[in-house]
Each structure stands twice: as C-alpha cells, then as structure tokens.
Amino acid sequence: MTLFEKIIAREIPAEIVYEDDLCLAFKDINPQAPVHVLLIPKKPIPRVGEAETEDQALLGHLLLKAGAVADLLGVKQIDKGFRLAINHGEHGGETVPHLHIHLLAGRPLAWPPG
Ligand code: 5GP
C-alpha cells in the first residue's frame, strides 16, 4: 500500500480539503507555498506517464476538481491564481509513487521552476 493509499484509508492522518468517489485532496505536509494541496485519484496509478486509456475520464475529473479545489480555497480568481504540477520520475522530482497533482498558490510563483 502506498503512503497516499494509507491517507485515503485514514490509516495516516491528513488535513483533507475535498473528497469524492474518485479523488481526495489534502494539505501537503511540507508546504512550498501558503496553499499547497495534493489532489490524488483513489485508484493507485503510480505516475502520470503510466495512466492508461481507460483512465482518460479520471484524469479529466482530476483537472476539473483541481479548479474546484482552487475555488474552495479562494485562489481561483484571475488576480490571485494557482499552479498545478505533476512530477514524474527522478528528474521530475517524484518521491511518492501514487499519481498526485500539486496545487500551489497564495504567493507569486516563479517561472521557470528550479
Ligand atoms: P512528489 O515529490 O512525489 O511530487 O510529491 C510528494 C509530496 O508528498 C511532497 O510534496 C511531500 O511533502 C508530500 N508528502 C510526503 N509524505 C506526506 C505525508 O505523510 N502527508 C502529507 N500530507 N504529505 C506528504
């Protein structure tokens, strides 16, 4: 069981900000911005590049819910805004092998990222 599956199962505590049948959003334990939430599918897809055609609707659901969670957290307005990031593999910075979308907001975010 991955760390994030344990969070889904409530075996490890997390500050959950949104949940539905397909996904869960919770605060990152080591926030890199005033708002830093991880949005994960309940299906344990290891990383984005390993999603399959059958996951198409789930991937779309995650993006739609990322916008909804940004709205819930008060950062969706265009004069605020947010960034979504998905890390795949070592060079991408992935450390947990369960697909997750980082939602970062609450301060201006530099571009390009480091
Ligand atoms: P990655 O580096 O794989 O893209 O992102 C993994 C994220 O999971 C990191 O930002 C890290 O801080 C977060 N994280 C790792 N362990 C835990 C945990 O036990 N609880 C929570 N809420 N976040 C975690």
Is any atom of ligand 1 closer than 6 Å to the C-beta of 2? no
Q: Full-prediction pTM beyond 0.75?
A: yes
Is any atom of ligand 1 closer than 6 Å to the C-beta of 29? yes
Ligand 1: centre distance to CA 55 (Å): 23
For 42-57, write each residue's pLDDT tens digit. 999 999 999 999 999 9
Residue closest by Cα to atom 15 of ligand 1: 29
For 55-109, write each residue's pLDDT tens digit. 999 999 999 999 999 999 999 999 999 999 999 999 999 999 999 999 999 999 9
In 3D, which of 2, 11, 71 has the Cα closest to residue 41?
Answer: 2
Residue closest by Cα to atom 12 of ligand 1: 30
Q: CB under 8 Å to 70, separation ≥6 — which residues? A: 76, 82, 103, 105
The verdict on whether 98 is a catalytic residue reads no
